[in-house]
Structure 1
Amino acid sequence: MMKSGFSLKMMAPLAAAIISVNSVAQQPSEQNSEAMETIEVTAQAANARSDIQRQRASNKVVAVQTSEAIGELPDANVTEALQRMPGVFIARDQGEGRFVGVRGIDPNLNAATINGVSLPAPETDSRAVALDVIPSDLLASLEVFKTLTPDMSADSIGGAIEIKSINGLDHDGQTYKVSVENGYGELQGENSPKLAATYTNQFSLAGRTLGVAVAASHQQRNFGSENIETDGVWEQYTALDGSVGVTAAEIEQRDYTVTRERTGLAANFDLELVDGSQLYLHTLYSDFADDEERQRNSFKLDEENDSPDTVSASGVIWSDAALEKELKDRFEEQQVLSVVAGGSHDLRSWGVEYALGFSRAEEAEPDRRDTTFVQEGLELGYTRAGKIPKMFAADARAMDAASYALDELVVENNFTDDEEVSARIDFRRDIDVAGYPSELKFGVHERRREKTGDLNATVYDGFGGDFTLADFANGGIDYGLGDFGPGVDKGALNAFINANLDRFDIDQTSTALDSARDYVMHEDISALYLMNDIDFGRTNLTYGMRYEATDFTAEGYRVAESGEAIPDSEEIADDVYVSAVSYQRDYRNLFPSVNVKYDYSDNIVLRAAYTESLSRPSFGDLNPSAAEIEYDEGELEVAAGNPALDPYEARNFDVSFEYYTDALGIFSLGAFHKQIDNFVVTADVASTADYSLYVGSLPVQEAEIFQPINGDNATLSGAELAWTRGFDNGLLLRANATVTDSEADLGLGADAGRGNKISLPSQADLVANVVVGYERDALSLRLSTAYKGERLLEVDLEDDAFDLYEDSHMQLDFSARYRFENGMQMFFSGVNLTDEPFYANRRGYNGQYETYGPAYVLGVTYASF
């Protein structure tokens, strides 16, 4: 399975790039010589000092990381760069960081902006923005605000993430940087090249200064993963032989091969008119393409029998079971565009700032193909449960490709669009309050958002002949988590589909059920605020009020399979009925906030804050169209949204102590407490659901209906520790940890089949980072580890023993950099050095286990500054 060591192939494109860049580096100028001194200054210690100074100056609780500090670590995108900051954790996809959580809280409960404009989400279901679409090369800085002021949007319970792209006015004269690298992943043994460049300059324009900054980045990453996971829940069975034990009815083996391409471009223009007066145009474009091939074995253990033959703590045997082999062939492309134009002007004692922003995110999944081959009548099971179930097939036919019949082909064309137009104008006025200087600030903010989903699926179940996997089999799957057997050859299968698709038989019922998932959601937010920032000498007080009015509408479809006509519905296929549905919600909120900063001494800063905020449910949770409806002989499986959800509402308390040493160093200790109403949890609501919404009058003997619901209330308390210390010998130590504890009330009532108290969904109990850096002369080294504790992912309303938890995760990374005198730098990084897997479990029983392998990067950078 594992392919270790570096490939000689990975060195060829890198060597060519080094020769190319060196040809530029052989022409140094006086400007380059001066810039070399700057590089020495802005190394590890100076980067840490800059971050600390910005944190200290803020009137809010904030963590800061500048682009220079990001460049010292092996982080390829914004998400992975953020994980190093205090209180921040990331949720991964295929081993890569995608979504960001703050203080152990669900990533959907954060706000993200770039250059002051809210970022839309290209995913169909998510409100959280997958920040991995933005390459870290385009950044000037990252800021994570953990307390809010009234001039900030209130839609953040975890934290507000502000991304700032590069600015030409922040650099003197012309600068440029070129970076070339190549990565290598052990699991797949594939190379992953990347090229990035930045350019800034200042121009004189009619006596005014125009700053221009352009950055571009392109990466192709070839990698994969190996996975085994349980589809559904583990529950107690009584076997046919009388034995009793816990088992699952369906377990899947999965093997992924992925190619991801990221292309990013930022172009920023800042015009300095006079002192205190500027105009700007900031743009960012990102294209993220994900080409995924997934080979899957699905062990359908309860295909014919409701009970296993025998079951024990370590194994299970089911007779007359089925084994499905499936190929998912999917290409997905996401595009994010952000444009903001505005200005700021100081007018004596008055000031005004204004901005008009447009952001758009699109996701296209054209011609996705899921093809299934099936073999029935097998004796299947496992001889080991736990983290990695060891699957077995008693019949040798399970390894015979000719024994698998072509059963089903699903072709999907899915498109999502998320668009927002925003406008803001802010006024400020310098005034005296009892003889103390202060700033009065007020403004109006408007946001108009539309998210649409056009989701289409065609299900084919007849192919004009008796085709088997042997007609399309490959040479076998290299899979390290068990015996996989033959897989599907993508090229041979696609050639067959392309030549014959028009002649295939369509399953009209399944096609109708799977295609009535379109939706349109509008979310309009109008805000007014008033705040006052008073400087009492050692004490700074920032307080005020924000008002937000939210108008939300959702339009979609209710689709049902029924044995008889459903009133006010249209029959779109035999016994499949659909009707349009719409929901409308308006709510108004006031958000008071107080932030106090007290400089106790030259070295000690004390802070306290009270803020109120909200987080609106994710768009997938609000979707009025069911994502999945499957009905088969009395068994019903549904995944549906809930547009009637209330938003989360939170009251937040923060206190902190910060000690700044005279040398490079900071020690901070903070505590926070959040009281949250209306938290959202995904649960199986089959015991209380109305089945007729999905199957009309058809009988239902067994059902699983997963739907988000509002819980009652929750509390989250925690402590946050951060420490940075630099030493004269070049050693730099950074450590931070956030410990949280939460309790949420499901509000199920006293007669519920399980306890009402749970931890807050998606809350990690411990988030920690340790970075050991060393710098001496031209050499810079960093060893970093990121830890995320256990968190609850899914609630079983019938038995809390089978709630789904993500296990703790600790990843070890290393980076090294060497600076040459001509402005050249060479760097190396190793990511996930200990091959840390992803593991989710139901109290010791497999939910999902996935491994990715270590990855390495070798590259070169040339900079003129």
Structure 2
Amino acid sequence: MKFRYRKLITTGLISAGLAQIASADIIRGQVTDASGEAPLEGAIVRIEGLDRSTTTDRYGDYRFANIPAGEYTVSVSYIGAQPVTETVTVQNEARLDVRVGSDVRYLDNVLVVGSKAAQAGAINQQRASGAIISVIDSDGLGNFPDTTVADSLARVPGLSIETDQGEGRYVSIRGINTDLIAASINGVRTPSPEDRRGVLLDGVPSDLLDGITVQKSLTPNVDADSLGGVIDLKTISAFDRDGRFIRAKLEGAYNEISEQVSPKATLTYSDTFNDTLGVALSVNYQDLAIETHNNETGEWGFLDDGTAFLNDDYEQRWYDLTRQRLGFIANFDWRVSDNTDLYLRTLYNNYEDNEVRNKFEFRDLDDAEDDGVVTANSQTLPLNEMDAEVRQRREVRQIQTYALGGQTDWQAWSFDYEVAYAYAEEDDSDNHDVTFRFEDIQDAAAAAGLADSDVVIDFSNPETPKFSGALLDLVYDPSNYFLDAFEEEETVNEDAEISARFDISRESLIGDTPVEWQAGMKIRDREKTRDANVTFYEADDFNLSPFVGNQLISGWRLANPMPAWPDPDLTSALRNGAGEGFELDEDSTNFDSLAEDFTIDEQILAAYAMGTFDLGPLTLIAGVRMEDTKTDLSGNIFAEEDDPANLVRRNVSNDYTNWLPSINARYAFNDKLIARGAYYAAVVRPSFGEMAPFTAFNDDRDELELGNPNLDPYEADNFDLSLEYYPTELSVLSVGAFYKQIDNAIFPATFEREEDDNGDLVPLSEFLQTVPVDLSYLTPGQLADVEEVTSFINVGSSELYGIEFNYVQSLSDLNPMLEGFLVSANLTLTDSESTLPDGREVSFLKQSETIWNLAVGYDKGPWDLRVSANYRGDYIDELFEEDLDRMTNDRLLVEASAKYKVNDHIQLYLEGKNLTDEPEYYYFGSERRLSQYDEFGTTVVFGARLTY
């Protein structure tokens, strides 16, 4: 790693400058449930008289330093249990272990049984935190029918998800899309297997996790690369419980569309040896069958009278895929002494999609404007071309993280250290895509003697348009289709990061005020590469008929019949140009294989200093973080139909530094009422695909598409206020408001060369002055014919603001007759505003104005029941132009689960996903204008857990 040593030395001096000398008598201990076996995270431990307080970590451990010798009263507060008070005598070092609550036993990798325990765990961690966080306890992951981490996160206040094939994939926090938030596994930043920063969260199975924390306000000791928050996935540790633990889980999932049962299995083992060595292993496997029915359109236009019409294409798509997930965790903890803990955390996850996609496309529907009839609900037009296409795709994604580190306490000092390696890969190396085309349809109609060769498209139901007309008999005859193109792909995206951090902290006093000083530094070295390899073949007079198996897809849900041809098992024989008369399309092959390849090396050196001030009821965490970024970027300059020998490599380097202050305040009016306020500055670097220095000309050299390596990073000032009220033993009612002032937001933009009054193009120099992208590296000859430039640009200031409500309640706290009943609800309202270069004001991409969740449960005796609903409002998915932006429609998902405890070791469960058979719908500007419509069906999950 080529880091600058001067900055490294400066960082070390900042850390060393925090040293103070004072006495260091210590109280340490552990808070557990009444059995002494289950540690409690988030318990508040207070030394009365000294007015010192701290919170327990994931192992239930707590520690006070700089305590004068003497006798003290220590109180422990944990929501869901009665407060406990103990007395301890301090001389050098004292240990006080505290048990709270009633006796419990383990179930499903959690500290106590059922939904109530999960609710208590999440509330306590959120209450005790110095920052604004949301928590999903480990049992919470099992209480909903969630396959993926993204699905679990959809129930957190302020979070919404994007789906793929009906499963949650990407997560948005408070309207901030996935590329502008961060995800980590055990604190290690997770790389992305795609050409972006956003992390796919549908690959990591929720069964491998022990909990999820969403940190919405950042402190200086946290990487500042997030505008919305940080999602941290916490895997299991042997010291999460006492002694040996074994859990086996076996389930099946039945989907009404695929009509298949998909198996899933998880095995978890952990044990501790001599109370010093902990080993935790978990393996998860799933083979999920998915079938999706889809139709979509290319684009819409408007007639002179304002009537909208479909002016591009209409496609029907049938997806049949198996999604295999294999995950493995191996975590090791070694308590070397009372003062030193070491750990090794490893995660390996392999995700494989084996997909068949048949596409049936009605092409060139723009004739409706000149040669057809357009009404509000239909259009009639001559049909000219059809495509029948099949893709067989095998996509393999891997995510791996490895972290070796530890913590050492020495008197009032504490040292944390870690080295980590994270790797992600997306490999599309076994794909083929073949298209057969029916051309000259009007000539074929005349030859067949059809008096009416038009088709009618009925948009009465805009989600599923219906085609009619005598011409369709020819359209559904495969003998009319001939090969247009055969494509093979072997593309690999890789993302690897090596990091190292060192943190030092010390407890001290300023007068009578306890202060914990902390400083540290971190080095991150990341390399992102994209290597596309696409091969195109052409052939003449190659008929579709030999590649037909079944005629139609059975059980098709949409309005028009869906052909089952071409058959991928038959077309696979054409791979590697094996078809008769196949010719390599060198120009298309070269362009798609070379134009957008890139390599990006990103190095970040960070340092921070902060203090945590314990001012009685007020706790302040204040400090500053410095992040110095250096990027080296490399991409290709290439044009369609050019010789690869003329390929030019473009190299760009950038270097910039950000100073990022933050302050988090927590004020406890009493044990039941807590107020919070926070400010933090953040910086998010441009997405890799946006800043990659590729430059691609079309074959006429009049259109130019390029990345923008000179993009400025997003910079944001983030403000939060919240009030939390804990009215009863196991409940919380909270309200929070947030505001984000964001500079340098990045949007795609296209700039077109206008004509002057005489109909001539304006001079090139005048046009280039209107393009806010550096084109100086291109020669006048390369730019001579350019009429359109598409790239990414920064815009000015943007705003995002909103309010969150959250309510969690055990109804037995209100009335003993309602014992066992639980309810939770949250609502988030947001709005945002950005101004594009043309003056148009738009909201942030992927930002829903309204998100809410509601869940009602019953947890008593052997039964654990729950019904939940999740609503996400519509949002802008992609910008085109006013009234034609691609929108994602609102969506309400209803799910339910029922668990029955047979005995202390066996639990049976039944769960339902998407019980109302809710589709996913995208539209262009208005719900009357279809963009994409998908149906996934309802899924029923059944299974059993064995815990020992």
| TM-score with structure 1 setting the length | 0.88
Q: Distance in 1 between matches of 2:458 and 2:701?
A: 28
CA contact (8 A) 2:488 2:535 kept: yes
Distance 2:529 2:745 in 1: 25
Counterparts of 1:561 and 1:305, CA distance in 2: 32
Aligned to 1:840: 922
1:182 pairs, out of 247, 252, 275, with 252
Match runs of 1:538-549 below 5 Å = 538-549=617-628
1:649 to 711, 715, 731: 715
Residue 629 of structure 1, CA deviation: 7.0
3-state secondary structure, aligned to 2:196: coil
- 1:235 aligns with 301
Q: Please state how far the C-alpha of 1:383 moved relative to its aligned partner.
A: 2.2
**1:20-31 equivalences in 2 (<5 Å):** none
Cα distance between partner residues in 2 of 1:358 and 1:630: 40
Report the equivalent of 2:637: 558
Q: Quote the Cα distance in structure 1 between the aligned partners of 2:567 and 2:697.
A: 30
CA distance in 1, matches of 2:630, 2:561: 51
1:578–1:321 Cα change, 3 Å? farther
Match of 2:445 in 1: none
Q: 1:175 offset after TM fit, Å? A: 0.6
Q: Given the alignment of the two structures, is residue 253 of structure 1 paired with residue 335 of structure 2, yes or no?
A: no
Residues 471, 98 of structure 1: alpha-carbon distance in 2 compared, 3 angstrom cutoff: closer
Superposed, 1:779-858 pairs within 5 Å as 779-796=863-880, 799-844=881-926, 845-858=929-942
**Alignment partners' CA distance in 2, 1:284 and 1:763:** 31
Task: Give the match for residue 536 of structure 2.
Answer: 459
Task: Answer yes or no: is 1:585 the counterpart of 2:654.
Answer: yes
The farther-off stretch of 299-308 and 684-693 is: 684-693
Residue 249 of structure 1 aligns to a residue in which SS? Answer: coil
Deviations 1:312-354 (A, max 9, x none): 3222234352111110110000111100000101100111000
Rounded to whole Å, the distance in 1 between the matches of 2:701 and 2:882 is 23
Match of 1:447 among 521, 524, 528: 524
Give the superposition deviation at 1:682: 2.8
Q: Distance in 2 between matches of 1:327 and 1:83?
A: 33
Give ranges in structure 1 of 5+ residues lacking alignment: 1-31, 563-569, 749-754
8 Å CA contact 1:235–1:247 kept in 2: the answer is yes
- Are 2:508 and 1:431 equivalent residues in the alignment? yes
Question: In the TM superposition, what is the alpha-carbon distance from 1:268 to its structure 2 partner?
Answer: 0.4
SS at match of 1:802: coil
Say which of 719, 730, 745 aligns to 1:679.
Answer: 745
1:481-496 mapped onto 2 (5 Å cutoff): 481-486=558-563, 487-496=565-574
Whether the 8 Å CA contact 2:175–2:844 is kept in 1: the answer is no
- The answer as to 2:589 corresponding to 1:511 is yes
Preserved contact between residue 114 and residue 163 of structure 1 (Cα < 8 Å):
yes
Structure 1, residues 422-464: CA drift from partner, whole Å, max 9, x if none?
Answer: 000000011112311110000011100001111011110126x
Aligned partners of 1:316 and 1:304: how far apart in 2? 10
Which stretch of structure 1 is more off in the superposition, 494-503 or 617-626?
Answer: 494-503
CA contact (8 A) 1:301 1:318 kept: no
1:729-776 CA distance string (max 9 Å, x none): 21100111111011111133xxxxxx5211122211112111111122
Q: Does 1:300 align with 2:363?
A: yes
User: Matches of 1:388 and 1:687 in 2, distance apart?
Assistant: 38
- Relative to structure 1, the CA distance from residue 244 to residue 830 in structure 2 (aligned partners, 3 Å threshold; closer, same or farther) is closer
TM-superposed CA distance for 1:213, in Å, is 0.6
Overall identity of the aligned pairs, in %:
34
- Give me the whole-angstrom Cα distance separating, in 2, the residues matched to 1:502 and 1:350: 75
Which residue number corresponds to residue 146 of structure 1? 216
Partner of 1:373: 436
Q: 1:700 to 1:553 in 2, by over 3 A?
A: closer
Report the equivalent of 2:140: 69
- Higher strand proportion, which one? 1
CA distance in 1, matches of 2:746, 2:139: 38
| 1:765-824 CA-partner distances (Å, limit 9, x unpaired) | 11211111112210111111111111112222xx41111111111111111110111410
Which residue number corresponds to residue 98 of structure 1?
169
Question: Is 1:607 matched up with 2:676?
Answer: yes
Provide the rounded CA distance (Å) in 1 between the counterparts of 2:352 and 2:121: 35
Distance 1:838 1:614 in 2: 33
Contact 1:307 1:318 in 2 (8 A): no
Q: Answer yes or no: is 1:404 the counterpart of 2:481.
A: yes
Task: From the superposition, tell whether residues 132 and 639 of structure 1 become closer, same or farther in structure 2 (CA, over 3 Å).
Answer: farther
CA displacement at 1:358 relative to structure 2 = 0.2
Q: From the superposition, tell whether residues 320 and 852 of structure 1 become closer, same or farther in structure 2 (CA, over 3 Å).
A: closer
Distance in structure 2 (CA, Å) of the matches to 1:346 and 1:258: 52
Counterpart CA distance in 2 for 1:733 and 1:243 is: 49
- Corresponding position of 1:658: 724
State the one-letter code of the partner of 2:743.
D
Residue matched to 1:211: 278
**In the alignment, which residue of structure 1 is the partner of 2:115?**
44
| TM-score where L is the length of structure 2 | 0.81
**Are residue 768 (structure 1) and residue 852 (structure 2) matched?**
yes
What is the CA–CA distance in structure 1 between the aligned matches of 2:308 and 2:208, rounded to whole Å? 54
2:440 match: secondary structure? strand
Aligned residue identity for 2:193: P
Shift of 1:274: 2.2
Residue in structure 1 matching 2:427, options 364, 373, 389: 364
Q: Distance in 2 between matches of 1:661 and 1:442?
A: 37
Contact 1:825–1:861 (CA<8 Å) still a contact in 2? yes
Q: 1:118 aligns with which of 189, 196, 206?
A: 189
> Deviation of residue 584 (structure 1)?
2.1
Counterpart of 1:783 in structure 2: which amino acid?
V
| Contact in 2 for aligned 1:613/1:651 (Cα 8 Å) | yes
Residue number among 763, 780, 805 corresponding to 1:721 in the alignment? 805
Q: 1:196 to 1:236 in 2, by over 3 A?
A: same
SS class of match (1:131): coil
User: Distance in 2 between the 1:219 and 1:132 partners?
Assistant: 12
Deviation per CA, 1:643-695: give whole Å up to 9, x if none: 33221111001000000133210001000000011112234444588799899
Residue in structure 1 matching 2:550, options 474, 483, 496: 474
Mapped to 1, the partners of 2:436 and 2:784 lie a distance apart of 29
Contact 2:300-2:308 at 8 Å conserved across structures:
no
Cα 1:697–1:278 change in 2 (3 A) is closer
Structure 1 residue identity aligned to 2:875: R
Aligned pair in 2 of structure 1 residues 476, 263: CA closer, same or farther (>3 Å)?
same
Cα 1:775–1:189 shift into 2, 3 Å = same
State how far apart, in whole Å, the 2-side matches of 1:488 and 1:307 are: 33
C-alpha distance in 2, partners of 1:89/1:280?
33
Deviation at 1:381, TM superposition (A): 5.6
Q: Does 1:733 align with 2:823?
A: yes
Residue pair 1:303, 1:322 contacting (<8 A) in 2 also:
no
Equivalents in 1 of 2:110, 2:412: separation in Å?
A: 39
What amino acid does structure 2 have at the position aligned with 1:738? T
Using the TM superposition, name which of 648-657 and 611-620 deviates more. 611-620
C-alpha separation in 2, matches of 1:275 and 1:455: 52
Q: CA contact under 8 A between 2:640 and 2:698: conserved in structure 1?
A: no
Helix, strand or coil: the match of 1:718? Answer: strand
Structure 2 spans left out of the alignment, 5+ residues = 1-102, 442-453, 755-766, 813-818
Partner Cα separation in structure 1 for residue 108 and residue 398 of structure 2: 39
Q: Secondary structure at the match of 1:712?
A: coil
CA displacement at 1:35 relative to structure 2: 4.8
Q: Say if 2:917 and 2:938, in contact at 8 Å, map to a contact too.
A: yes
Shift of 1:622: 2.1
- Residues 608-641 of structure 1 deviation map (CA, whole Å, 9 limit, x = unaligned): 0111102222222223336x8766xx79887653
Is contact 1:320–1:376 with CA below 8 Å preserved after alignment? Answer: no
CA deviation string 1:205-242 (max 9, x = no partner): xxx610111111000000121111122x311246xxx9
Shift of 1:533: 0.3
**How many angstroms apart in 1 are the aligned matches of 2:786 and 2:360?**
28
Call closer, same or farther: CA 1:560–1:392 in 2, change over 3 Å.
farther
Alignment-derived partner of residue 10 in structure 1: none
CA change 1:523–1:211 in 2 (3 A) is same
Give the AA of the match of 1:260: R
Rg larger for: 2
Q: CA deviation at 1:473?
A: 4.6
Cα drift, residue 713 of structure 1: 1.6
Alignment match, 1:137: 207
SS state at 2:125 partner: helix
**Partner secondary structure for residue 643 of structure 2:** strand
